[in-house]
């Protein structure tokens, strides 16, 4: 069953945590990244972008070495501190529209290998190897894998009791998100949590498929190098943030296509009619609210597309997924897009304002057509994972998005 383990986290000191915590590196624009690095010397971004210190873009193994050096500097300068006792770490992320409460722990690569930890996305082997090499060089894991578990009243009760204590830190970020962390160090409470998760048949990766795959790859490499290897060695675990399913928020990705594969707009609509009942939306964008209903923006008009069940067969959980339906009815047979990950003709957008952005980009001529669909549900993700299937790329945009540098796992 699911093995969760406490660990001795490396954490920012209380007086510096708000300056250290950063968003994921990929979320920063070039100008924003440059500004943070210039004006905030405590940002975790200095660790993962060590070339800034030398005003040089550094890549490859040299970057890995310097990342490790910057990390050691943060420890030496007492920006980071190491807990003396293995703990679980409750972490609450509170936004205007929802709150997530979960905990940092160490999860087992053996659970990953035996499918106790379930996956729903494919990974790219090159990225796996590169990140495994990175982990091996730097010796720490600073970005947890986001995983979910079925809502559990007993776990919830423990957490609600723990958050009555003063938090280890409590700060807000410029995006109006409040962050709080509590340390669970009581051996009895730790044992209760471990026991409750030992009864769980599965954990589901929500975000972090490449991170978990790379941790598994690293463990295999370390096993070969360590003749005294045991399953309790620290490299056989990776840091995860576990939250109940009810605390996760799933958004959809829009699809935007650069051309109609040689078709006119009218010819394209005629081909769509074979799979969909088409309605022009005179009042503009209509957000899809149910499964198998798509919104399309084409040639200055919004359309609703309703799947014709007589022309499409449901064979498994994947075939029922709207992103897969769009792929098999439009993207592949009509628009000729078979490689969703690498085809330069397709782009993706997410977020509350993405339908408006989609319309603007089509109107500007950057794209010929855009599609929007209802978000995938957690039940669909679990069905895909349980069946050992893989979703199309960019099927989900999942929150919460975690800050880097709040808790670090060393191995």
pLDDT digit string, tens, across residues 111-156: 999 999 999 999 999 999 999 999 999 999 999 999 999 999 999 9
**Overall domain count for the chain:** 2
Residue 393 lies in a domain: no
pLDDT, tens only, 166-182 = 999 999 998 899 999 99
Residue 286 lies in a domain: yes
363 plus 228 within the same structural domain = no
Residue 197 lies in a domain: yes
Give the predicted TM-score (pTM) of the model. 0.93
152 plus 113 within the same structural domain = yes
Q: Please say whether the dihedral angle defined by the alpha carbons of residues 117, 125, 232 and 142, taken in this order, is positive or negative.
A: negative
Structure tokens at 209: 């498929």
Residue 394 lies in a domain: no
| pLDDT for 353 | 64
Q: 315: burial class by Cβ within 10 Å (0-12, 13-18, 19+)?
A: exposed
Q: With bands split at pLDDT 50, 70 and 90, how would you rate the model's confidence at 288?
A: confident
149 plus 56 within the same structural domain = yes
User: Distance between CA atoms of 51 and 37, rounded to whole angstroms?
Assistant: 11
Domain limits for position 103: 4-250+399-410
Query: Could you tell me the CATH number of the domain that includes residue 318?
Result: 3.30.1760
Q: Please say whether the dihedral angle defined by the alpha carbons of residues 111, 115, 116 and 118, taken in this order, is positive or negative.
A: positive
User: Distance between CA atoms of 380 and 355, rounded to whole angstroms?
Assistant: 23
For residue 240, give the H/E element and its range. Answer: strand 237-244
Helix or strand or coil: residue 108?
Answer: strand
Cis peptide bond prior to 400, omega within 30° of 0: yes
Residue 214 lies in a domain: yes
Give the bridge partners for 172, in sequence order. 178
Query: Measuring CA to CA, how many Å separate 43 from each of 20, 21, 25, 53, 197?
Result: 4, 6, 11, 13, 34
| Interacting residues of 146 by C-beta distance below 8 A, sequence separation 6+ | 205, 206, 207, 208, 240, 241, 243, 398, 400, 402
User: What crossing angle do the helices spanning 125-138 and 60-76 adopt, rounded to 10°?
Assistant: 40
DSSP 8-state secondary structure symbol assigned to residue 14: T
Residue 131 lies in a domain: yes
| pLDDT for 178 | 97
Helix or strand or coil: residue 354?
Answer: helix
89 plus 207 within the same structural domain = yes
204 plus 259 within the same structural domain = no
User: Distance between CA atoms of 89 and 267, rounded to whole angstroms?
Assistant: 57
Alpha helices (H) in 40-59, listed in sequence order:
45-48
16 plus 143 within the same structural domain = yes
| pLDDT for 351 | 64
185 plus 316 within the same structural domain = no
- Pairing relation of β-strands 117-118 and 88-94? unpaired
| pLDDT for 196 | 99
């Amino acid at each position: 069953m699911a093995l969760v383990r406490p660990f001795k986290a490396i954490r920012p000191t209380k007086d510096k945590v708000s300056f250290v915590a950063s968003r994921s590196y990929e979320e920063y624009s070039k100008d924003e990244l440059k500004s943070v690095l210039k004006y905030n010397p405590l940002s975790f971004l200095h660790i993962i972008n060590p070339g800034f210190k030398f005003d040089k873009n550094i890549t490859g193994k040299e970057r890995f070495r310097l990342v490790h050096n910057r990390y050691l500097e943060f420890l030496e300068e007492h920006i980071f501190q190491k807990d003396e006792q293995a703990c679980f770490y409750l972490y609450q992320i509170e936004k205007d529209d929802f709150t997530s409460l979960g905990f940092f722990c160490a999860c087992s690569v053996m659970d990953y290998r035996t499918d106790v930890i379930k996956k729903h996305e494919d990974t790219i082997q090159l990225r796996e190897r590169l990140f495994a090499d990175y982990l091996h060089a730097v010796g720490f894991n600073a970005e947890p894998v986001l995983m979910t578990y079925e809502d559990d009243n007993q776990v919830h009760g423990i957490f609600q009791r723990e958050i009555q204590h003063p938090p280890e830190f409590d700060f807000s970020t410029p995006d109006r998100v409040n962050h709080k962390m509590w340390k669970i160090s009581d051996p009895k409470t730790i044992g209760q949590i471990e026991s409750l998760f030992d009864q769980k048949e599965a954990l589901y990766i929500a975000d972090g498929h490449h991170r978990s795959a790379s941790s598994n790859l690293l463990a295999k490499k370390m096993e070969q190098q360590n003749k005294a290897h045991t399953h309790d060695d620290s490299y056989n675990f990776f840091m995860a943030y576990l939250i109940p399913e009810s605390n996760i928020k799933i958004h959809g990705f829009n699809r935007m296509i650069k051309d109609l594969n040689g078709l006119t707009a009218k010819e394209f609509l005629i081909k769509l009619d074979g799979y969909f009942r088409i309605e022009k939306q005179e009042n503009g964008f209509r957000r899809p609210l149910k499964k198998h209903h798509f919104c399309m923006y084409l040639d200055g008009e919004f359309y609703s597309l309703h799947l014709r069940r007589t022309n499409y067969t449901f064979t498994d959980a994947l075939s029922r997924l709207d992103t897969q339906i769009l792929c098999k009815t439009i993207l592949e047979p009509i628009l000729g897009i078979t490689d969703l990950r690498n085809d330069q003709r397709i782009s993706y957008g997410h977020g509350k304002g993405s339908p408006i952005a989609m319309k603007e980009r089509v109107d500007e001529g950057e794209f010929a057509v855009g599609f929007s669909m209802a978000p995938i549900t957690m039940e669909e993700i679990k069905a895909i994972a349980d069946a050992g299937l893989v979703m199309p790329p960019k099927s989900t945009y999942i929150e919460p998005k975690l800050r880097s540098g709040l808790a670090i796992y060393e191995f």
